[in-house]
C-alpha cells in the first residue's frame, strides 16, 4: 500500500535498495517480487501492515516472520540476514516485537469470527495478503526473505464493511469513496476512527523499523 511505502522514509534513497509499491494482494506482490529479482536483488522484504490472529498482539506492535503459510503450504524463514536484523531490533529497545507465524490470504479478514476461525485452523499469529507470494519468488530464486509487519487491526477490531471500497488497487485512500461509505452507513464512523488510530500506531512502528533495516548488512 502507498501508506506503507511512505513509512520507508530515507531507506528508499539508498542506492543499493530497490522498492516497488506492488499494490494489494498476492498476484500484485508476486509480480513485483519477480521484477525486483530480474533487477538483481539479493534479498526480498515483505513490508507493511498485518491483522492480529493472536489475542496478545496489539496495534502498533512489530511482527517479524519466522514462517509464512497460505493455509496449505508453509515456508520457514531463516537466514543470517534475519538473525542480524532481529539482533538490531532487540538492541534498539524501542519496538515491542513478536516472532510471528504469518497466514497469507487473498482477501482480508474483517471481523473476530473470521479471524478466530482461521486461527483455530492453524498455529498462526497474524494475517496479511502478500507474504506467501513473495516467499515463493524468494525460494525460487534462492535468496533470503524478511517479512516485516506492524499490527494494524487487533483480534477484536471490527473492520467497516465498506472499508475495502475506500482504497484503490495501490492501497491509496479514496476520499470521495470514504465519504460515500460514511454517508451510506454513518454508524461505522466509530470503526473508521478506531482504525485510523490503529493505523497511526502501525505507521510509527513501520517508520522506526525502516530506519533499522538500513543498518542491516545486505545478503
**Domains in the chain, CATH or no CATH each:** 2-213 (3.40.50.1580)
Asked if residue 65 lies in contact with residue 149, where contact means CB atoms within 8 angstroms, the answer is yes
Query: What value does the mean pLDDT of the chain take?
Result: 86
pLDDT higher than threshold 80 for residue 50: yes
Of the listed ranges 15-19, 80-84, 209-213, the one predicted with least confidence: 15-19
- Pick the residue with more confidence: 192 or 126? 126
pLDDT, tens only, 32-43: 999 999 999 999
**Integer Rg of the chain from CA:** 17
Residues forming beta bridges with residue 48, ordered by sequence position: 149
Q: 7, 207 in Cβ contact below 8 A?
A: yes
Amino acid at each position: 500500500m502507498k501508506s506503507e511505502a511512505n513509512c520507508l522514509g530515507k531507506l528508499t534513497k539508498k542506492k543499493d535498495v530497490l522498492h516497488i509499491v506492488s499494490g494489494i494482494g498476492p498476484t500484485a506482490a508476486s509480480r513485483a517480487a519477480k521484477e525486483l529479482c530480474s533487477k538483481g536483488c539479493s534479498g526480498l522484504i515483505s513490508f507493511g501492515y498485518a491483522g492480529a490472529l493472536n489475542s496478545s498482539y496489539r496495534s502498533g506492535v512489530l511482527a517479524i516472520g519466522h514462517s509464512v503459510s497460505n493455509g496449505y503450504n508453509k515456508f520457514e524463514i531463516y537466514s543470517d540476514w534475519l538473525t542480524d536484523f532481529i539482533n538490531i531490533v532487540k538492541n534498539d529497545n524501542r519496538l515491542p516485537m513478536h516472532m510471528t507465524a504469518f497466514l497469507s490470504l487473498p482477501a482480508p479478514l474483517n471481523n473476530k469470527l473470521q479471524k478466530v476461525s482461521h486461527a483455530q485452523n492453524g498455529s498462526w499469529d497474524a494475517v496479511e495478503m502478500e507474504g506467501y507470494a513473495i516467499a515463493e519468488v524468494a525460494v525460487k530464486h534462492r535468496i533470503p526473505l524478511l517479512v516485516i509487519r506492524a499490527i494494524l487491526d487487533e483480534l477484536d477490531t471490527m473492520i467497516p464493511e465498506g472499508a475495502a471500497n475506500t482504497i484503490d488497487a495501490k492501497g491509496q485512500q479514496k476520499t470521495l469513496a470514504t465519504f460515500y461509505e460514511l454517508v451510506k452507513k454513518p454508524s461505522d464512523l466509530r470503526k473508521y476512527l478506531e482504525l485510523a488510530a490503529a493505523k497511526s500506531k502501525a505507521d510509527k512502528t513501520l517508520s522506526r523499523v525502516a530506519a533499522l533495516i538500513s543498518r542491516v548488512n545486505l545478503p
